[in-house]
Homo-oligomer: A and B are copies of this chain.
């Protein structure tokens, strides 16, 4: 009962939104980058999945197609993302980060990670070790569509094809 799935879920539901609050406030505070959490997550996905389609990004982030389409509109308008029709299947969009998008993503990532690290620095090593272990356990449980992760080269090929 100490770590039943239900007790575990209760704690996750209590603590995870608290951490998100810190992440969101930290991102908002950086006026230079000025990107929201959903935008950041989209850039992060495209950073690791260059050439992904709109559907793939929407699925991963958890948005509907129209919502993601609109969000990409904004990122393209700001020069952070490129959107091209896929060479092989002209219904599909091929999305990728521009150098500016990569740059903004990197700096936002570093700033947010540093902010979190500052909080975590107060904890003893044993607790940080438990956190790392917990995150490693949680990651596969909550990652969407793990089957897509099994073919990392598919996205790359798509990116190359579109040139």
Chain A residues with a Cβ under 8 A of chain B: 2-25, 37, 41, 61-62, 109, 112-123, 125, 127-139, 141-144
Contacts and interface: CB of A to CB of B under 8 A. Distances in A.
B131 A119 contact: no
A139 B15 contact: yes
B8 A142 contact: no
A133 to B, nearest CB: 4
Contact of A113 (B2, B9, B109, B125): B9
A116 B14 CA distance: 12
Nearest to A119: B141
Q: How many copies does the complex hold?
A: 2
A82 to B, nearest CB: 24
A13 B137 contact: no
Given A8-B132, A133-B130, A144-B21, A14 B139 contact: yes
A59 to B, nearest CB: 10
A29 B156 CA distance: 33
Contacts of A130: 130, 133-134, 137
Contacts of A15: 135, 138-139, 142
Contacts of A144: 18, 21
Contacts of A116: 8-9, 12-13
A135 to B, nearest CB: 4
A12 B141 contact: no
Given A130-B134, A132-B11, A137-B130, A18 B125 contact: no
